[in-house]
Amino acid sequence: MSVRATARLVADADGGLPLLESDGPLALRRTRGTGTRTRVTVVGAMSAPLGGDRLAVEAEARAGARLQVGSAAATIALPGPTAEPASYDVRLTVGAHAELRWLPEPLVSARGSLLRMRTTAELAATARLVLREEQILGRHGETPGTLASRLTVRRAGRPLLDQELGYGPGAPDGWDGGAVLAGHRATGQLLVVAPEFEDKPVEPRLLGENAVLVPLAGPAALVTAVAPDALRLRRVLDEALLALAPA
């Protein structure tokens, strides 16, 4: 039987969490950390998403709040009892002068899985967003499942970024070719939206051999990277995070 679950959280400027609602396999836990950010960890309470599952996480940082959301472990997309695709939606809202750091562990697309992932973010004009996405295409020694991923970000009601990616069987031809992954099986991106980039946008540049930093009209900066494995991908994105949005 497929699972339908939506976990929700809301953070206030005073560090409170007026809403922290777990559901199904998505358990939300407030966690301790240094600094002034409110920290929440998503803990997987069972294997998910499987084929046919419909999962969602909604996170809101209200005006003036500083919220960081991570996960306890990688999310593994697995084949399920039906041929239906699974879906995993992430819906983020960031209010005026608020900051949301969405820094989950990687998503692993296991052989035979079929997952559609959608991330949407609605930002106030003075909001800050740090968003990291990492996809590992297949576990060790296996081919990947089918993964379709879309990221849509709006700032002050206007589009900032809307992109769609596809990997694995059924994806557009060339997804694993030399112009896209070039044999790599780990890919990811880091998006940083910050008001100060409006007056001082970042300079486009290469970050090593397999990563690039580009400015976006918005104001924002986007790092896109591929790597042979998850460890090296995380190293590149961590270095970029430290340079663009130090803790």
Contact predicate 168/187, CB 8 Å: no
Separation CA 141–CA 191 (nearest Å): 30
Percent of the chain with pLDDT over 90: 79
Quote the mean pLDDT of the chain. 93
Separation CA 16–CA 135 (nearest Å): 32
pLDDT at 139 > cutoff 70: yes
Separation CA 204–CA 216 (nearest Å): 10
- The whole-number pLDDT of residue 7 equals 97
Mean pLDDT calculated for residue range 111-138: 96
Nearest to 221 by CA among 239, 194, 242: 194
pTM of the model: 0.95
The gap between the terminal CA atoms of the chain, to the nearest Å, is 42
Strands 220-227, 211-216: pairing is: antiparallel
